[in-house]
Amino acid sequence: MKCCVITFPGSNCDHDAIFASNLAGFEVENIWHEETKLPTKTDLVIIPGGFSYGDYLRCGAIARFAPIMKEVVKFAENGGYVIGICNGFQILAETKLLPGILLRNDCISFKCCDIFLTVENNKTAFTNCYKPNQVIKTPIAHGEGNYFADEKTIAELENNEQIIFRYCNEKGEISAEANPNGSINNIAGIVNKNRNVLGMMPHPERYSDKILGCDDGIGVFQSLLNKLR
């Protein structure tokens, strides 16, 4: 199975995403933002974390116009699997592949720490390796991770089970205290209606191997490999 990891000026998690994808069993190719085509037989595209184009204007606002993003949007609209992590989530929101926006953290400061997530829906291509309501540990590193959408959109996400990760504490309890950025309903990760596009603020790729101190995040990549085989 082939995975493409996109690199923009300012990306800083592309090699982490390559490492995790390789570890899961993908053949990985790194794609520069100025490319205009994805390689043939691409199965998965990852838009990694970082500060694409220096976060000028707003996070992800310039990256959405990168030449390669036209192909990524087309790929997703044709059913291809896409993951946007942190800045990648912000870019997917800007392209409208995912609903909502990412606002400044409610604490008005950059948060860099380990947090806990509960797997709200394990029946997706991105979560089938996890158990229902499993609690996993992942790092976050963002200043604009506060997920927001209007009431109608939030209701649709809830009713369609498109919210697949929520911030929680170590016991799996969902609370304001466990929410690091103020996201509505403790939302940490969502999928589109067709369930082939995932956006999440936490970094599963940074906890993909026990040598990193935790491998809870590798399940995201292994789940996709299970789905694609």
The question of whether 86 is a catalytic residue gets the answer yes
The question of whether 142 is a catalytic residue gets the answer no
The question of whether 205 is a catalytic residue gets the answer yes
Question: How many other CB atoms are found less than 10 A from the CB of residue 162?
Answer: 22
Q: Which residue(s) pair with 147 in the sheet?
A: 102
Q: Of 3, 59, 86, 168, which one is the catalytic site residue? A: 86
Half-sphere exposure (Cβ direction) of 173: Cα atoms closer than 13 Å: 7
Q: Tell me, letter by letter, the H, E, C secondary structure of the chain.
A: CEEEEEECCCECCHHHHHHHHHHHCCEEEEEECCCCCCCCCCCEEEECCECHHHHCCCCCCCHHHCHHHHHHHHHHHCCCEEEEECHHHHHHHHCCCCCCEEECCCCCCCEEEEEEEEECCCCCCCCCCCCCCCEEEEEEEECCCEEECCHHHHHHHHHCCCEEEEEECCCCCCCHHHCCCCCHHHEEEEECCCCCEEEECCCHHHHCEHHHCECCCHHHHHHHHHHHC
Radius of gyration of the chain (CA): 16
11: tokens are 């990306």
Q: Of 4, 33, 129, 203, which one is the catalytic site residue? A: 203
Cite the active site residues.
86, 203, 205
